[in-house]
Amino acid sequence: MSIALVTGASRGIGRAIACALAQSGHHVIINYAGNEAAAQETLAAVEATGGTGQTLRFDVGDEEAVTAAIKSILAEHGRIDVLVNNAGISIDGLLMRFKLDDWEKVLATNLRGAFLTTKAVARPMLKARQGRIINIGSVVAAAGSAGQPAYCAAKAGLEGLTRSSAKELASRGITVNCVAPGFVDTDMTRALPEARREAILGEVPMGRMASPDEIAQTVVFLASAGAGYITGQVLGVNGGMHV
């Protein structure tokens, strides 16, 4: 059975990705940073699809923790076929007032985390001569977003990491791609003031937000055999917001 590791899978888009991959036949490793109850909810959702999974707690920004986690997966399953770098945080603030500590926190999870996990899975994937690495970016990497300097920079960096990794790993049958969602209907966007939500929808030609499952199904495709000749690409799933 194919083994898929999804980072930041305890809620939102990560949970949807875990469920969709499980439903398509992958055994899913559900990574989470601290909310064990939410991770268990994801596991229950995975099992409700008829799939299989397990939870694994580690901080993607901690090199030692990432190395130990990948070793434990390989010891138990002998392989990692799919890595989805979904873990991310956002700390908002205007550039001139943005704290360096907040900048470091955002980049540690959103960019360094993806680098560390990609580096850790690359060796076993190279030995296997196959693998799928899928990074979850954002439309703001290309479009920008006032008040989110660290988040935008991290997501833009993730696109660069995607392209560089793809060129290095392609000859061994490993693809590396990035899914860049626009606005997605999650707990975070539901908490926005109604006026802000309406303003957001005004920027989207399709007139609605994406569902988490629409992002997840894009990931499932990129993880499939049918996407074997697609690598180094950023696939926008944004309802026409940025074309």
Active site residues: 151
Tokens 């399709």 found at: 206
Max Cα separation, the chain?
52
Structure tokens at 230: 């697609």
> What are 135's strand-pairing partners?
85, 178
**Distances in Å between the alpha carbon of 106 and those of 23, 47, 153, 183, 209?**
31, 32, 9, 19, 24
Q: Which residues lie closer than 8 Å to 182 by C-beta, 6 or more apart? A: 139, 204, 209, 210, 236, 237, 238, 239, 241, 242
**DSSP secondary structure letters along 68-109:** HHHHHHHHHHS---EEEE---------GGG--HHHHHHHHII
